Amino acid sequence: MSAAACYDVIVLGAGFGGTLVALALQKRGLRVALVDRGAHPRFAIGESSTPIANRQLAKLCEQYGLDEIAPLCQFGTWDAAYPQMGKGIKRGFSYFGHELGREFTPEPGHLSELLVAASSSTAVADTQWLRSDVDAFLCQQAAKGGVDVWLNAVANPLETHPRWRLQLDQSGETTNIEGQFLVDATGEAMVVSKWLGHELATLRLKTWSRGLFAHFKGLPPFEELAKGCGAVTGDYPFPADEAAVHQVTPEGWMWQLRFTNGVVSAGWALAKPGDQAFSPAAEFQQILDRYPTLRSQFASADVIAPAVGLVRTGRLQRLAAVAAGENWALLPGTAGFIDPLYSTGIGHTLTGVWRLAEILSAGSQQARQERLPEYGSEVLAELHWIDELVSAAYATLGRFELFTLSTMLYFVAATGCERAGSGLAHAGFLGANDRLLVRAVLEAKRALLAGQATGQDAATIAAEMRDLLTVFNVAGLFDPRAHNMYEGTAAPDV
């Protein structure tokens, strides 16, 4: 039998997270293997970036010399460098509130609409990633950069300590590889946690939601339908559909992420289990039928991907009990997942990629061992922090005015980090390491939920939340004069 190929680091999972960590380490001179059970291009969900995600990507590209990838940090540079690669413009977050059985009803003062800018122009805008294109491009870059890429390879562990020894099976042909360290970037497969027999800690999470999604063609922009319902859009801070669009209903919310090629990623995140007696397509239509304006919007839209049609998931939330050990670490998207709301997945994954690349490429083995426990506990604490922010939104789904207030908890944290500049990994993702911020946000969340429970009006609750968050409200949120149209929240241009 031939000797096993030896690596410093084996990365399992060639989504964008695993691929970027492999590439960064290779650039630092480490020998890296990147292994995936599938191949590219392939359908992948999770597409909306944010200012924090793009700043983290820019920092990674600069520090590790990833020049070909750097254009992806903004819409303008991406479009100029790679016009063919699937992408969309994301100027911010748009929310529309829907009531059961009623057409979308615009209210004076935009009470059933909320637009929060994230970027000041199309050129510097955040992006929607057509993941099949982006992940394939990144994987090509990794192979070009010298990473040994093993696709369509099923990995089985032969040894896990003190070195990893894996048997890779590619269509019946087996190869053994060895590595000193293993990064698990397999996402929901959570391969290493399973191999090591770790229990999950999902029960500690507060959010409960499930997904029902696909990619569509023929979906008109929602702003057109809103106008048809009488919405006055002259003071919208950006075109409402050049954004992560959220259709908010009492039973859950729908995302709509538009790519420039006319494809739209759309899906429900639903707050209760569904009836499995209905097919995913039948359930999707049943929900649309309860919200007439959404039903009209989808009337001539067709599912174009994935090939199996609409995907229905079980509970989306999952959480590892441990995120790093002596010779292994999980990327954030493998350690856990909360919900698509607030598009935290890409940014959190990139934060983890940057941190792990720093830990694994610098310093002695001993320094690495010292920093890994901190890495692991930070990733888990950040997932709990996201859970706090997201669960507030789910608790208020039934009243759009209160849902709007719940989003302010996230926007206070995000805009603070965006303005801190260096605020990325060091302050913790979305400021999770900032104890004063976390305490103030949790107090404001309690005020919101208590106000909801006692039937307080939204203006009174908003005033209390604004007072509790004054120090951290650096972008003019909670301003009644803004009428739910926030332009000044755009991240500073870089």
Ligand X SMILES: Cc1cc2nc3c(=O)[nH]c(=O)nc-3n(C[C@H](O)[C@H](O)[C@H](O)COP(=O)(O)OP(=O)(O)OC[C@H]3O[C@@H](n4cnc5c(N)ncnc54)[C@H](O)[C@@H]3O)c2cc1C
**Coil, strand or helix: which one is 2?**
coil
Q: How many CA atoms lie within 13 A of 83 on its CB side?
A: 1
DSSP string of 248-280, one letter each residue = EETTEEEEEEE-TTS-EEEEEEESS---TTS-H
In 3D, which of 205, 208, 268, 242 has the Cα closest to residue 45? Answer: 268
88 is a site residue for ligand X (CB under 6 A): no
At 434, list the tokens.
């900032």
At 19, list the tokens.
């691929």
Residue labelled with tokens 């029960």 = 203
At 48, list the tokens.
């909306």
* The one among 24, 73, 191, 444 contacting ligand X by CB under 6 A: 191
Closest to ligand X by CB, 310 vs 402, is 310
Closest to ligand X by CB, 143 vs 189, is 189
231 is a site residue for ligand X (CB under 6 A): no
- The neighbouring-strand residues paired with 169 are 154, 174
Binding mask 232-271 for ligand X (x = CB under 6 A): -----------------------------------x----
At 430, list the tokens.
């979305």
Closest to ligand X by CB, 212 vs 440, is 212
- Which DSSP state fits 188? G
**Closest distance of CB 167 from ligand X, Å:** 12
44 is a site residue for ligand X (CB under 6 A): yes
Residue labelled with tokens 């819409």 = 75
**Closest distance of CB 193 from ligand X, Å:** 12
Q: How far apart are CA 62 and CA 56, in angstroms?
A: 10
* The one among 12, 30, 34, 323 contacting ligand X by CB under 6 A: 12
For the beta carbon of residue 436, count every other beta carbon within 10 angstroms.
10
- The neighbouring-strand residues paired with 217 are 302
* The one among 10, 18, 387, 409 contacting ligand X by CB under 6 A: 18
Q: Which stretch binds ligand X (CB under 6 A): 37-45, 58-66, 286-294, 396-404?
A: 37-45
Tell me phi and psi for residue 203, to 5 degrees.
-60, -15
Longest distance between any two alpha carbons in the chain, whole Å: 75
Closest to ligand X by CB, 46 vs 237, is 46
211 is a site residue for ligand X (CB under 6 A): yes
Please name the residues in contact with 146: beta carbons below 8 A apart, sequence gap of 6 or more. 26
**Closest distance of CB 375 from ligand X, Å:** 15
Q: Which stretch binds ligand X (CB under 6 A): 16-24, 202-210, 400-408, 485-493?
A: 16-24
52 is a site residue for ligand X (CB under 6 A): no
Closest to ligand X by CB, 127 vs 452, is 127
15 is a site residue for ligand X (CB under 6 A): yes
DSSP string of 124-135, one letter each residue = T-EEEE-HHHHH
Q: How many CA atoms lie within 13 A of 144 on its CB side?
A: 11
Do residues 207 and 340 touch, judged by C-beta distance below 8 A?
A: no
Closest to ligand X by CB, 267 vs 325, is 267
* The one among 69, 346, 350, 430 contacting ligand X by CB under 6 A: 346
Closest to ligand X by CB, 192 vs 482, is 192
Q: Which stretch binds ligand X (CB under 6 A): 38-46, 113-121, 235-243, 393-401?
A: 38-46
**Closest distance of CB 316 from ligand X, Å:** 6
In 3D, which of 406, 405, 423 has the Cα closest to residue 414? Answer: 423
Enumerate residues 266-305 that contact ligand X by CB under 6 A. Answer: 267
410 is a site residue for ligand X (CB under 6 A): no
Closest to ligand X by CB, 343 vs 473, is 343
- The neighbouring-strand residues paired with 216 are 264, 303
Closest to ligand X by CB, 11 vs 231, is 11
Q: Which stretch binds ligand X (CB under 6 A): 63-71, 112-120, 344-352, 382-390?
A: 344-352
Closest to ligand X by CB, 38 vs 492, is 38
Please name the residues in contact with 486: beta carbons below 8 A apart, sequence gap of 6 or more. 115, 116, 117, 237, 411, 475, 476, 477, 479
Site size for ligand X, by CB under 6 A?
Answer: 34
Signed CA dihedral, 380, 381, 382, 383: sign only: positive
Residue labelled with tokens 């997270």 = 17
9 is a site residue for ligand X (CB under 6 A): no
92 is a site residue for ligand X (CB under 6 A): no
In 3D, which of 314, 315, 317 has the Cα closest to residue 338? Answer: 317
**Closest distance of CB 390 from ligand X, Å:** 12
Closest to ligand X by CB, 88 vs 451, is 88
Please name the residues in contact with 198: beta carbons below 8 A apart, sequence gap of 6 or more. 320, 321, 322
* The one among 9, 10, 14, 430 contacting ligand X by CB under 6 A: 14
* The one among 94, 186, 327, 351 contacting ligand X by CB under 6 A: 186
* The one among 345, 428, 431, 451 contacting ligand X by CB under 6 A: 345
Residue nearest to ligand X (CB): 46
349 is a site residue for ligand X (CB under 6 A): yes
Q: Which stretch binds ligand X (CB under 6 A): 42-50, 222-230, 441-449, 470-478?
A: 42-50
Q: Summarize as ranges the residues that interact with ligand X (CB under 6 A).
A: 12-18, 35-38, 44-48, 155, 185-187, 189, 191, 211, 213, 267, 316, 331, 333, 340, 343-346, 349
